[in-house]
Structure 1
Amino acid sequence: MTLKLIYPALAQILWTFIVLGIVFVRRRRAFLDKAVSPADVAVSTERYPEPARLAAANYTNQFEAPVLFFALIMVAMEVGAVGTLMAVLAWLFVLSRVVHTFVHVGSNRLHLRAIVFGLGIACLVCMWISILTTML
């Protein structure tokens, strides 16, 4: 049933909106605290305080590896690779993106962030392999 894969895809989209909300809140806080003025960030966002820049960087990340995720979801649905394993891998990928965000906008411990990112990529590779084995 393809709905198994629609739910994690929708969850990833929701998470992207949530991260955008974090960016908005942090940028608004920067203006309210007078850490930046509109003129400071009219051309470049480099002058925002670090918490706002981290949130914006994470928002950008939501359009990198997740692009592969959405492509894999669509291909899996097209070829019928929609079993439980694929659904579990999809949910694990979404979970990895959520954890990655908490690390990125929180402690920003690069080593931990890299591990979480790597686990998400491993999920994508396993999804790709699962699709290939379904097609063979």
Structure 2
Amino acid sequence: MTRFDVLLPVFVQAALMFGLLFWLARERYVAVKSGTFDLAGYREGGAGFPRQPTLVNNCYKNQFELPVLFFALVPLAIITEKAGFVFVVLAWVFVVSRIVHALIYTTTNEVRRRALAFCVGVVALFAMWFLFFIDMLVASL
């Protein structure tokens, strides 16, 4: 696998995060301009925005939880040359699961479907870390 093959899912994940950030900025701007923003509620704990900006904000913040482990692993796999075909397929499964999770979160916010997408991503990321660990263990023997 080329470095680009390994990094392409990282670029897509980063694009998702930037897309959510820009969407959040627009949603907040619209809420402030339309008068649906409650400054006092926001000051006292983050509430104050209507439903849609809140969903986008929560989804955006969620991108700094599980994906941190993804962003940490990919450079390690590249540096150690342990990013093979299975690793890249799992990376794509993880990123697609994050996209699906974000789409559900910011639209219907149906918790069961959102949880399923989240779990698919967790399993894919865990498998990536597990395979990386086994590869490193075997290489050290």
Check the 8 A contact 2:104/2:114 in 1, yes or no.
Answer: yes
Identify the residue that residue 127 of structure 1 maps to in structure 2: 128
How far is the alpha carbon of 1:45 from its aligned partner?
A: 2.6
Tell me the TM-score normalised to structure 2 length: 0.89
Runs of at least 5 residues in structure 1 that lack an aligned partner in the other structure: none
Taking only the aligned residue pairs, the percentage that are identical comes to 31
Query: Aligned letter for 1:26?
Result: E
CA deviations on 1:18-77 (whole Å, 9 max, x unpaired) are 010121121112112210155553554301001111110111011100000011112211
Ranges of 4+ aligned residues in structure 1 off by more than 3 Å: 37-44
CA distance, structure 1, for counterparts of residue 44 and residue 6 of structure 2: 40
Identify the residue that residue 118 of structure 1 maps to in structure 2: 119
Identify the residue that residue 52 of structure 1 maps to in structure 2: 53
Identify the residue that residue 107 of structure 1 maps to in structure 2: 108
Check the 8 A contact 2:90/2:125 in 1, yes or no.
Answer: yes
Check the 8 A contact 1:92/1:123 in 2, yes or no.
Answer: yes
Runs of at least 5 residues in structure 2 that lack an aligned partner in the other structure: none
Higher RCO (C-alpha under 8 Å, 6+ residues apart): 1
Identify the residue that residue 16 of structure 1 maps to in structure 2: 17
Aligned residues: 136
